[in-house]
Structure 1
Amino acid sequence: MASPATVPEIFDSIKQSIESVSETSKKLSGLAPPAEGLSLLDVKNELLLSYLEHMVFLILLRLKSASAGTEKEADLSLENSNLGQSAVKKLVELRLYLEKGVRPLEDKLRYQIEKALRAAEASERATKAKEAAAAAAGSDDKSDEDDASEGSDEEKEAADSDVGAFNEEEVATSRPNRAAFVRPTSGLAAATAAPDSKATADAAAGGGVYRPPKIAPTMMPTTGRKDRAERRPLKSATMDEFIADEFSTAPIAQPSIGTNIAGHGRHMKTSTERQREDERRDYEERNFVRLPAVGKKDRAKRAKAEGSGPMSFGGEDWRGLGEGVDRINRLTQRKSSSGATGTRALLEKSRKRGIDTTDGPRGSGAASSGVIGERFQKRLRLQDMGRRDRGKKK
């Protein structure tokens, strides 16, 4: 490298270098916006282009390695090569930038981008309208100057109307929706915030009485009847377990002896209850938290929903036994009229009169005295007399 011959030339070169460095540092310190468009879109395009380049490069590497051997060997060689690993890492990095960086920012700036595009389109339309008006005014003759001026005025008015329509549209779209920010807290506020003006007028005229709007969500009518669902017989857990145990050929995991006994031996846990306990234990072990115990109200509510009560034992409901006996009595009993006489009347009286059954000598059910257990008391007296006479000398 040839050095400068004189000192002034050295100073000049140093001065030029300092000036160039200062200008470059100023440019690097502040990133200037691009000449055309938004910087986010430029970054997105650059990332997409780089992603496609690396993808094509990875495909070329795979084709090159596949030509040497089988597909499995190509995959192994591509994984072992440093060039393939670096290409895959770069693809993952670019995909992360696109998914987690560009897309959320683009969603946040979507409104501003659309607003800028609409403004650019409106200005372009206005410029074209002015150019067309100027061209039409220059090409017309002097005799048609008035007509040309009227035409240009109309075109200018059309352009102004387009700009005005754009401004109105922009104001309408950029106006904040107050209903989206403030949620009505009372019935009257909800009625006033509803778009139905009639409902609002009715609420105002009703003296503060809440009137629900017509657009309120309503429950769809059901096809089945509620009473029919209530009359449906309850499902028997014991019967399900019996069918699963007796008619299934698959191996069954039985609980340990004593683990399925509940209520101090008065109740046997069903498979549903054991499954619920297993789910509770698994949740506690997986999340390292102890769930609160089930309260009395919750237990009573669950028992009512499952149909268990004082007449249930072993998962079965035994209320039907008493109902069956009452049904037999109702079917066998004959209704007697008020003026019934004869054998039927005597039979009814005998049913109503209670029989005093006592321990008689022959077990006839009747005794001379009305004391129950007279024979037993007599035997006790005889035994006491024998004890008193046992130690006396005759």
Structure 2
Amino acid sequence: MSSNIDEVISTITPSLESTNDGILKILEYEMQNDLPEFINQLLLDSKMMIILSQIERTKEGKYEEADDVREKSIESTIAQRVTIERGIKPLEKKLNYQLDKMIRTYNKMLQEYEAKGNDDQQNASVNNDNDDSSEESEDELAYRPDASSLMSKASKKASSKPEEPIQEAYKPPKISAMAPPTREETKNKPSKKLQSMEEYLRENSDLPMEEKSIGVNIVNHGRGGVKTDSERRKEKELQTYEETNFVRLPSTMTKKDKYQKRKELNNTFGGEDWSMFNNSRQLSEGTSRKRKPNSVWDKVKRRK
């Protein structure tokens, strides 16, 4: 392994010396001719500097066997390698792409310019041919008959005839037959069915049916009968409307209805009406009520 390194270093050393001599010559030339200074640094220069520093580090690590120097050289070599791989190579790729793009656009512009020049030459030649052909056609039509005189004669003949109005039978315009507009409501409208017949068929049928809970469709504790399907359907529609729109519709009950309902609720217990015990009239006088005077004389007499 050491022999291989010696051979590599022996080949690199003369190249470094020649490079050093070339750099010194370039510096002398710059000092003599006063060349402008370049502020920007080229990628090639940075690349070469990193490679030279790597070679110097390996050379120092060979002759100096100290561990700290060896570690420093290894760290610097790794940092330089990362700089080349992560920094310089991506920049080279980007610059290469941009340069290729610029070259392609330049070549395309040249091709378009040449094509445009060729088109202009062709158009010029075509225009010259057209001018020559038009001159030849003018020469051929120089001895043609006068067409304007013929037109004037034809116009005189047409003006001599009186214009007669054309009378024809009126023909109405043809209109394609169309059906009259129909309302869609009639199509979607459900067919009317007899409610009594529907209830009769429902009661006598043996098919399983969905029923409400017991007591839900009873009105006024059985005194108001049972709710019909239409009433239940109406209540369902109101309920769905209130739930979807988050509103509470006002009730149709009047103050009198509310008072009567509250009074009946107070007099009801166990599903029975006990309002007979809340009556203010005396039962000892009998169950027959006294008739109030209805005549005018009785009313006047009562006022006195």
How would you bin the TM-score normalised by the shorter chain?
under 0.3
Structure with higher Rg: it is 2
Q: TM-score, normalised by structure 2?
A: 0.23
